[in-house]
A and B are shown apart, each in its own frame.
Chain A
């Protein structure tokens, strides 16, 4: 972070490559669409680098980025759900092809996540991918801690039962 702020492109690249996997995965696991995940993660990085000079180095970069990613992913999923309900087919054209990889995350996990609301998915992703504590998740999403705990419990139960069904 310090080097990127000082103008080092190699440090910026290191920062980008270090944070990309979790940012992209977090977006993908919430939206279940590779093109949208790419857009969301890119937007988050663009927001971050455009205001990099103003960023307080005493704060960690990850939570700042993750908050942008997860909130945008929730917004995107809500918007898609709304469009589906009103029958509007004109989804935003995706720039990247959404081709499933041969060894992608199992249908069990992604399918079970798809059954959850975006808010539930976000909590699961923040907890088990980004490894935030329930207290930190509550702060990030501006939720009561009890709500975070109940969403985690319900989400984990759903994942367990779906994966067991497939076995």
Chain B
């Protein structure tokens, strides 16, 4: 083979996925470019006039209405980001998403196909993804991922926050009005567990026994054996609890407080609190299923920017994975711990970050429209209720 022929074939013969990959990658490159750390012309080119230029900027800022410049910049960032990304063609990792939209919960398969489960307001996966616990109005139900109804029960009050026991699915906790109730996984044996509970969803402890942590109405957190109704631990008064999560080994309980601070407890010890994050204004937090660390979204009101942080569960300095203009929302790990889904409501996008080093970012755009077909407005941004097996 002549060199010329080889050169020609290298340049012109079709290569698998070349064009498709280009279209997939372009939105990500553009998003990275738009959120890059900007270096001014002055910094690049003309150090000697840096002081003069800074002085000019300061004078300009002094005569500008404060906040308008910053707000305009944020709007510009968000507006341009809205044009990025691609439709939800498929998930970048194995598993299925459960997404709550104004129309109800959707199951999104790995290939991107999705199904609306019905007119429910809340939902969660059963441990192996065989069922979805759904709540809507005064009705609690278990449905299959294709929407088939398995069982249902009706309560006199509004029902919400269905949560399956993680290992076997033999118990389902839920909220009815201000009460916390538990039902056996087949829909039988419904009974009251606690009255006047706090707004955070309860969290089952992984393990053999049916142990549940919940926020009580007095600002504390209680850990209860559901079958014996025995209280195993009580955490001290906290700022309003937003979220409770157990670590995979069931030893540590993570609490996201109302002030956006993360605390980690060992409920079985007298010196219960192990660690408190130095960061506040954390919007959401999720524990890596494959490693003792957590990911969090953090919003800085002063700069109008959000960051995605990775923190070791034992404490230590958080590591910034990425930052964007506007507010970030929920965060969820893929079942294999290799991807992180971050909701970005201000840009109407989901960001999928390839972990551990964000070596790849996949953006999905127009998320609200994806889960509100036929809507004429932008619609409410959907919530990610779980990324299951």
Contacts and interface: CB of A to CB of B under 8 A. Distances in A.
A96 B362 CA distance: 11
Contacts of B155: none
A36 B93 CA distance: 15
Interface stretch (B26-34, B230-238, B241-249): B26-34
Interface in B3-48: 3, 6-7, 9-11, 13-18, 20-22, 24-26, 28-30, 32-34, 36-39, 44
B16 A106 contact: no
Nearest to A29: B10
Contact of B1 (A4, A13, A37, A160): A160
Interface stretch (A41-49, A79-87, A134-142, A143-151): A41-49
Given A24-B21, A43-B360, A101 B80 contact: no
A46 B9 CA distance: 28
A45 B29 contact: yes
A106 to B, nearest CB: 7
B383 interface: no
Given A39-B360, A45-B25, A95-B362, A104 B20 contact: no
Residue of B10, B13, B32, B44 with most chain A CB atoms under a 10 A cut-off? B10
A55 B32 CA distance: 16
B30 A34 contact: no
Contact of B30 (A13, A98, A128): A13
B17 A97 contact: yes
Contacts of A92: 338
Contact of B21 (A12, A43, A96, A106): A96
Q: Is the interface of A mostly helix, strand, loop or mixed?
A: helix
A34 B14 CA distance: 12
Interface in A11-40: 12-13, 16-17, 20-21, 24-25, 28-29, 34-35, 37-39
Contact of A96 (B15, B24, B36, B336): B24
Interface string A46-77: 10011111100000000000000000000000
Nearest to A108: B1
A42 B360 contact: yes
B222 interface: no
Nearest to B39: A53
Contacts of A9: 30, 33-34, 80
Contact of B18 (A25, A53, A163): A25
Interface of A: 4, 9, 12-13, 16-17, 20-21, 24-25, 28-29, 34-35, 37-39, 41-43, 45-46, 49-54, 92-93, 95-101, 103-106, 109, 125, 128-129, 131, 156, 159-160, 163-164
27 contacts: A9-B33, A12-B30, A13-B30, A17-B26, A25-B15, A25-B18, A29-B10, A43-B359, A43-B360, A46-B29, A46-B32, A49-B29, A49-B32, A50-B33, A51-B36, A53-B38, A95-B92, A95-B360, A97-B17, A101-B14, A101-B17, A104-B14, A105-B10, A106-B9, A128-B10, A129-B11, A156-B1
